Amino acid sequence: MKKNRKNRITHSGEFLRKQRANQEAFLTLFRKYGLQNRACEESGVDHNTVYAWRKDPKFEQRFLEAETGISRLAHDEAIRRAVYGYDKAVFYEGEQVATVKEYSDALLAKILSAHDR
């Protein structure tokens, strides 16, 4: 009986190590892409598994920190496109002939509106 208990403990430790590695893989990809679906697909983790993990307060905190980072990146990118612009290719007869700097006044208005709240 003691042998079985030891095996269960070892198995449990291996399970927890593998789960932790899977969580890290998922969170790394989630931070990279900002898309939960893509992070699940590329890490091989099922969506339902992520929902189950989120019931654990430690994982939930790490998940929310990743989400906050993604939101900051999206906000920074929106400001960059609205204020500093982005290069847009100009084509003539199927060939790129120039680039022009584009700005998004509508995006800037939305950003400013969100800050007024």
Domain that holds residue 36: 1-53
Percent above pLDDT 90 for the chain: 67
Task: Tally the domains of the chain.
Answer: 2
Backbone φ, ψ for residue 34 (5° rounding): 75, 10
In the DSSP assignment, the letter for residue 98 is: E
Of 9 and 109, the one with more pLDDT: 109
Under 8 Å between Cβ of 116 and 93: no
Under 8 Å between Cβ of 101 and 85: yes
Q: What is the pLDDT of residues 39-66, one digit of tens each?
A: 999 999 999 999 999 999 999 999 999 9
Q: Has residue 37 been placed in a domain?
A: yes
Q: Has residue 60 been placed in a domain?
A: no
User: What's the pLDDT at 1?
Assistant: 47
Percent above pLDDT 70 for the chain: 90
Q: Has residue 26 been placed in a domain?
A: yes
Q: How far apart are CA 14 and CA 23, in angstroms?
A: 14
pTM of the model: 0.67
